[in-house]
Structure 1
Amino acid sequence: MNTIIKRSALAIAVTSVCLSAGLSHASSHREAPFITEVPKVDGTDFYMFRSYESGREDYVTLIANYLPLQDAYGGPNYFDMDEDALYEIHIDNSGNAQEDLTFQFQFTTTLNDIQLPVGPAGDQKMVSVPLKNIGNAADSANVQVSQEYTVSVVRGDRRTGTVQTATNASNGTATFDKPLDNIGGKSFADYQTYANQHIFQMAIPGCSVNAKVFVGQRKEAFAVNLGEIFDLVNTNPLGLRNGEGKGDLDDKNVTSFALEVPAQCLTGTAANASGQPVIGGWTTASLRQARIINPAPSADGKGATVEGGAWTQVSRLGMPLVNEVVIGLKDKDRFNASEPKDDSQFATYVTNPTLPELLEILFSGAGAVAPNNFPRTDLVSAFLTGVAGVNMPVGVQASEMLRLNPAIAATAAATQNDLGVLGSDNAGFPNGRRPVDDVVDSALRVVMGALTTDAPNKDTPFTDGVQLDPTELQVVFPYLATPLAGSPNS
């Protein structure tokens, strides 16, 4: 068997293809025109919360999801990550809308060319097999393609700051294995046990306590009637929540980058008026500026493209639903490519939002009335600065990101309210975001004036009619559920 490791090619700058795509801060499933062309770097959701696993209360969990709408049966390649991409989770712990700490993930793919003898005895030919595995996929000897990744820790600017390498605390190496996707019951007798073997203790330079890391496929946890929302809200947003109703993403998987980091290793100078620490977080993905298509891909695993040039950001995600339903269509790509420090250029979309006006046009007969308190300073608080007294740092620069006050005690899984702060659970959205938080219902209510004193619909319980069944989630790291199996497929 031949082992071939594909490496990111440093392209000759024959042509510089600039990928200008806009800032994606959201539960962002194909939210901008360009990102639909490169789904492996499409950030879909970002979670940041104080860990609620028993005994882990001093940790903060960060989960960045990529590659949306994965059908469990999507073989034979399934959903490997792009080894020519840079995936990042950023932390602002000074309140200046710039990253102070960045976790960078990069992947390497190994092709173990598995061949079988085919033909009559004495005249057999060794022929490469077309499937990803030829037996028990938990045994690496049966697997053709696998991925591993490194985690770099950057302090200061993500491109010019001090770069150090996180290590696997169990063996001191700089690499971590990514589990295969959940191919199905015949390939994996016990996928959950197999996946859990890919949760690693990680030593972070400058942090005296180990973190945890896991990168792999999970079941999608974003509860939303996605098709109905984009079909002019083809549902009843003024109706009753229908409990644990089925959402459009219930049968999808996603790839999660999960970190559990000691809170003391994330906090900095940013603090609210009471002196409690506040951290901001967002995720990005970047590609090389130039891509050359290889007209004759070789058989040595080097792939069909050559990549080169500077890293160029093509996806960004912090607060949910911003790029999907707040940013105007013409600016979605530009939004994905910008940084929080430059968010003032998009401020009008927050201070004068169109979504409430659309809801009034579509549902005025049912009583929907858009707030008229312009500029919408209530939305500035919710989306750009944090809530005063909770997760707004003193002297904060208005910018879009998730903000978390890790001094607020975690709520036990059994008693979490999926409306977060609106449901009197200050450990939930918009104080960070947990997997259970129903950000669609919360966002609908906030844009229609829930945080104001005089909006006509400030007390109206807007909803998309879908809630996540919390029993689907794990109560231990990495929290998101075991992914759906590709087979048997129902």
Structure 2
Amino acid sequence: MVLAAGLIGGSGPAGASSHREAPLIAGDPAVDNTDVYAFVSPDKPDTVTLVASWSPFQEPHGGPNFYPWATDARYDINIDNDGDAKADLTYRWTFRTEDRRGKSTFLYNNGPVTSLDDENLLFRQTYTLELIDRDGRDRKLIRSGKVAPSNTGPASMPDYGALRAQAITDVPGGGKSYVGQSDDAFFLDLRVFDLLYGGNLSEVGQDTLRGYNVNTIALQVPKSQLALKGDATRNPVIGVWSDTERQSMILTPGESRAVGPFVQVSRLGNPLVNEVVVPAGLKDKFNALTPDQDGKTPALVNRVTDPEVPKLIQAIYGLPAPATPRNDLVEIFLTGITTKLGGPIKADLNSQLNNADVNPKRFTPSEQLRLNTSVPPAASPNRLGVLGGDLQGFPNGRRLADDVLDIGVQALQGAAVSGIVPALAAGDKVNANDRAFGTSFPYVALPNNAAVNSGAAGAVAPAAGGGGGGGLPDGLILNGVLAALLIGSGVWLLNRRPLRTAVPAVA
């Protein structure tokens, strides 16, 4: 168990999610990375699935504009397969908007939307997906992919699963791309910011993100497309991170204009690095750094060798902090787990140095979410990942159901060398997402369509397989009828095609 705990040690600087983690990005949610996941696809183990989300804390009823992707930004998922901390492959999504509302209505849709081409859907987005290699050469993989819209409610979108299925687009070479809204897959009690769960572990058991949605990009591609030299057998380890680049904005009354070069404004590899490891004065800088700059930033490295959270646990709960410098955390945070550097964790798991064709002289320590794609999917996944004896789990990549908060707290408190810390074994008592994940691509749960403050958040039943809808409580059906009546009035006023007389049943 101590060995397994040692393998998980590097999750310490990770921990959880990255919602509104830095001052500047908190004011620009459309380009704010929230989470990155990377895992061998459980139903297609010859492929890897990469999931990245943006735009945190989306309240389902947050109209009239809801949650579009920025059209003046670049949304990237990066792959480093040779360990030099530079992207060998960048998958880039850019967006276009078709807004049919004009001056005639405030509605996002003016009737039930049953397909992405439905005339009732008044706000639409499409995307281009490019693949850019390390030399800057790009190839367009998808030229006009369709984005699944924000879920505006059960009357407007009676079967969001069908819309999501229509938004899955084939990628040349045997892959798939999905872009659209989803349930926020991360689960935790975020009251860690209230003196670490109230100062006495009384503030636990409440899933802070229950009922909220995010904008999600999911990409599934064969392992060989990501591996160094196309050989996933000799070179199974990849590093993954997402970033967002944006142009500057010139604002004038009633309009805005994007100008100038694109600059990186958000970045995410391992979860919660910027949120609870990086101090406030470095947060905006970290979002602007590229991975090859990490090891050259002493103030950042010092926060890994001497992390803050164990000191807080000691001050508040009286549990001694592990001795510093934390070389176990440095090994995972900057290098991946490998015996080739003589670090404290005596195992080979997920460093690019373990790839047969990597040149050690070019290896550069950096913060990335690293995945060994040769580890097969677990028959019975353990939410604690490697700490629970499941080598496919976090920090070897990150699956949707990995309980990275509980793993991270244990690691920060020394589980890498001492095993589970009994006093913290209960964790935050949020051990799973409130909605089941799918069993096929894109795996994320369907977006919620009930107000977070209604007590019925997540009313649509959990997704089964790759999509699907669900039944609604009677109160929500009544709300849906009222919404349908309101939409129907709008349709009549706008002289568009009539609303169906009956509210469609939710699948």
TM-score range, shorter chain: 0.7 to 0.9
3-state secondary structure, aligned to 2:119: helix
1:451/1:458 contact within 8 Å kept: no
Identity of aligned residues (%): 38
The corresponding residue for 2:403 is: 438
Show CA shifts across 1:32-85 (max 9, x none). 0000111100000000000002xx110000000000000011111111111011
User: Structure 1 residues 25, 370: CA separation in 2 closer, same or farther (over 3 Å shift)?
Assistant: closer
2:143 is the counterpart of 1:165: no
Query: Structure 2: 5+ residue runs without aligned partners?
Result: 1-13, 339-347, 354-359, 457-507
Show CA shifts across 1:446-465 (max 9, x none). 11111125x99499526122
Match of 1:375 among 325, 350, 353: 325
Q: Distance in 2 between matches of 1:34 and 1:313?
A: 12
Give the Å deviation of 1:487: 7.1
Give the Å deviation of 1:188: 1.6
3-state secondary structure, aligned to 2:415: coil
The corresponding residue for 2:157 is: 188
Query: Structure 1: 5+ residue runs without aligned partners?
Result: 1-23, 115-126, 168-173, 204-208, 298-303
User: Structure 1 residues 261, 93: CA separation in 2 closer, same or farther (over 3 Å shift)?
Assistant: same
1:420/1:430 contact within 8 Å kept: yes
Q: Distance in 2 between matches of 1:59 and 1:36?
A: 34
Match of 2:388 among 423, 427, 430: 423
Alignment of 1:348-359 (within 5 A): 348-359=302-313
The corresponding residue for 2:174 is: 210
2:16/2:408 contact within 8 Å kept: no
Alignment of 1:398-477 (within 5 A): 398-412=365-379, 415-453=380-418, 457=421, 461=425, 463-469=427-433, 472-477=436-441
1:146/1:180 contact within 8 Å kept: yes
Match of 2:446 among 482, 486, 490: 482
Give the Å deviation of 1:382: 2.4
The corresponding residue for 2:9 is: none
Alignment of 1:235-384 (within 5 A): 235=198, 245-268=205-228, 275-288=234-247, 290-295=248-253, 297=254, 304-344=255-295, 345=297, 346-364=300-318, 368-372=319-323, 374-384=324-334
2:40 is the counterpart of 1:43: no
Match of 1:75 among 51, 63, 87: 63
2:211/2:451 contact within 8 Å kept: no
2:132 is the counterpart of 1:154: yes
Number of residue pairs matched by the alignment: 419
Q: Distance in 2 between matches of 1:189 and 1:148?
A: 22
Q: Distance in 1 between matches of 2:403 and 2:107?
A: 39
The corresponding residue for 1:390 is: 349
Alignment of 1:20-39 (within 5 A): 27-39=17-29
2:384/2:393 contact within 8 Å kept: yes
Show CA shifts across 1:207-239 (max 9, x none). xx321000111011111111x111111257879
Give the Å deviation of 1:328: 0.9
3-state secondary structure, aligned to 2:228: coil
3-state secondary structure, aligned to 1:452: helix
3-state secondary structure, aligned to 1:113: coil
Question: TM-score scaled by structure 2?
Answer: 0.78
Question: TM-score scaled by structure 1?
Answer: 0.81
3-state secondary structure, aligned to 1:104: strand
**Aligned AA (1:151):** L
Structure 1 moving runs of 4+ over 6 Å: 236-239
Show CA shifts across 1:2-43 (max 9, x none). xxxxxxxxxxxxxxxxxxxxxx99621100000011110000
2:131/2:141 contact within 8 Å kept: yes
Q: Distance in 2 between matches of 1:201 and 1:236?
A: 50
Q: Distance in 2 between matches of 1:390 and 1:435?
A: 20
3-state secondary structure, aligned to 1:67: strand
Give the Å deviation of 1:191: 1.3
Q: Distance in 2 between matches of 1:148 and 1:359?
A: 47
3-state secondary structure, aligned to 1:107: strand
Q: Distance in 2 between matches of 1:456 and 1:145?
A: 50
2:228/2:235 contact within 8 Å kept: no
User: Structure 1 residues 456, 47: CA separation in 2 closer, same or farther (over 3 Å shift)?
Assistant: closer
Q: Distance in 1 between matches of 2:200 and 2:97?
A: 45
| CA RMSD of superposed structures (Å) | 2.5
Larger helix fraction of residues: 2
3-state secondary structure, aligned to 1:34: helix
